[in-house]
Structure 1
Amino acid sequence: MFTVDSISIRYEQKSVIRDFSFSVNQGEVVSIIGPNGSGKSTLLKGISRNVPFHSGQVELEGTNIKSLSSKQVARKMCMLSQKNQAPSDMTVIDLVSYGRYPHKKWFEKLNQEDMDIVHWALEKTHLTSHKDRTVSSMSGGESQRAWIAMALAQRPKILLLDEPTTYLDISHQYEVLELVRELNQETGMTVLMVLHDLNHAASYSDNIIVVQAGEKAMSGKPNEVMTTDMIRRIYRMDSEIQYVATEKKPRIHLLSTAR
């Protein structure tokens, strides 16, 4: 689906991401984890072309992403940041409709096919009954679903999510991640997301990439990556790992700061 090949990203003279490589297959859910300041969000922004990379390349379906126009990238890939804001009077359906504009010429209006896709996105995110509400009047979880609906209306093959559960309480975190899983399973959309919660990453990911100080520390399936050694080395925490036979995914119990 896409390949990141030895990319490096600098802010002024500071190196933030160094010689980073990985690939994501179609239909996978991949999570990027690591301590604060390790470069996770910068890596995602580089992949989406929101920040330039100093060296290396990203290939999207075999094509160097630098050779694609912004519209061509937007038809294939959509990124949602940690916190998104809409004008105070914007309704949910108006927001979701913006997802269709990468598929239109600048003078074209939305047609019936576009609106059918908008309503499909609202239905998939369980927002049909909220379509006329303003985004600003919604709860954090509802608002995040509205932005995901806009991304769905864009019909991307790849969805990039930068800490999608930040600022949300526990129930809304669960709601958003369950929605991501549902969309992945029903539509086959590839998902790459930055997560802080290790148990969320273990539960919702096919593969996990660990970032430390701008470099790839390790990657693999949740049961390969989520080890007491990794957590001690990367997070400086002692932990216990529990496996539940019915889930086949590890559960992480943090114990104390490692000495």
Structure 2
Amino acid sequence: MFAVDSVSIRYEQKNVITNFSFVVNQGEIVSIIGPNGSGKSTLLKAVSRSIPYYEGTVNFEGTNLKSLSSKQVARKMCMLSQKNQAPTDMTVIDLVSYGRYPHKKWFEKLNNDDMEIVLWALEKTHLTAYKDRTVSSLSGGESQRAWIAMALAQRPKVLFLDEPTTYLDISHQHEVLELIRELNRDMGMTIVMVLHDLNQAASYSDNIVVVQDGKKVMCGTPNEVMTADMIRKVYRMDAEIQFIPPEMKPRIHLLSTAR
């Protein structure tokens, strides 16, 4: 679906991502992992064209992403940051409605077809009963679902999520990740997300990209990537890996700081 080829990103004449390449296939969930400050979020922002990169290419369905207009990009992909803020008086349905604007002309109003898509997005994210509440009144998990609903109303082919479980308690983390899995499974939506939790990445990903110091360490399935050796080298932690039936995906138990 899209290919990242030799991308480098620079801040103030310093490389933060160097010669980075990976491929995301249609319908995959791909997680980007790595230590704090390794460049995960920067890479995600560049791939989604939220920030520029100075070398390399990102091809989306065979087209260089830089050749597309901002509106064309917004019709194909959506990026949600770690923490999103809406005006205190904005209702959930108003927020979700903003997802339709990439498909409208300047000052063109939403029509019945647009509102059907908005209501569908609310239903898919289990927020129909909350549509008239203000976004500021929602819990952390509900608020995250509202932003995902806005992204769904945009009807993107790819959804980029920068640490979607940050600031959420355990139950709301599970709720959001299950929603992401449902959107991927039921709609075939391609998901690329940054995660901190290694077990969440192992459980919810088809493929995992490991970043360290702005460089790609490895890329592969959870079983290929989540090894004690990788965790020792990248995170400087000793770990024990179990494989949990029926899918036999790895479960990581961190033991102690590696020496």
CA deviation after TM superposition for structure 1 residue 246, in Å: 1.3
| Structure 1 segment 82-121 matched on structure 2, within 5 A | 82-121=82-121
- Aligned partner of 1:205: which letter? S
Give % identity: 80
Cα deviation per residue 1:192-236 (whole Å; 9 max; x = unaligned)?
000000000000000000001001000100000000000000000
> For 2:244 and 2:43, how far apart are their aligned partners in 1?
32
SS in 2 for 1:120: helix
Structure 1-normalised TM-score?
Answer: 0.99
- Corresponding residue for residue 12 of structure 1: 12
In the alignment of these two chains, the number of paired residues is: 259
SS in 2 for 1:45: helix
CA deviation after TM superposition for structure 1 residue 247, in Å: 2.9
CA deviation after TM superposition for structure 1 residue 107, in Å: 2.0
> For 1:51 and 1:111, how far apart are their aligned partners in 2?
32
> For 2:55 and 2:25, how far apart are their aligned partners in 1?
23
Cα deviation per residue 1:117-148 (whole Å; 9 max; x = unaligned)?
00000000000000000000000000000000
Q: Which runs of 5+ in 1 are unaligned?
A: none
- Corresponding residue for residue 78 of structure 1: 78
SS in 1 for 2:181: helix
> For 1:227 and 1:73, how far apart are their aligned partners in 2?
36
Give the 4+ runs in structure 1 shifted more than 2 A: none
- Corresponding residue for residue 162 of structure 1: 162
- Corresponding residue for residue 62 of structure 1: 62
> For 1:88 and 1:71, how far apart are their aligned partners in 2?
27
CA deviation after TM superposition for structure 1 residue 75, in Å: 0.3
- Corresponding residue for residue 225 of structure 2: 225
> For 1:62 and 1:135, how far apart are their aligned partners in 2?
38
RMSD: 0.5
> For 1:246 and 1:29, how far apart are their aligned partners in 2?
19
SS in 1 for 2:23: strand
Structure 2-normalised TM-score?
Answer: 0.99
> For 2:245 and 2:49, how far apart are their aligned partners in 1?
41
CA deviation after TM superposition for structure 1 residue 245, in Å: 2.2
Cα deviation per residue 1:58-116 (whole Å; 9 max; x = unaligned)?
01111000000000000000000000000000000000000000000012100000000
- Corresponding residue for residue 128 of structure 2: 128
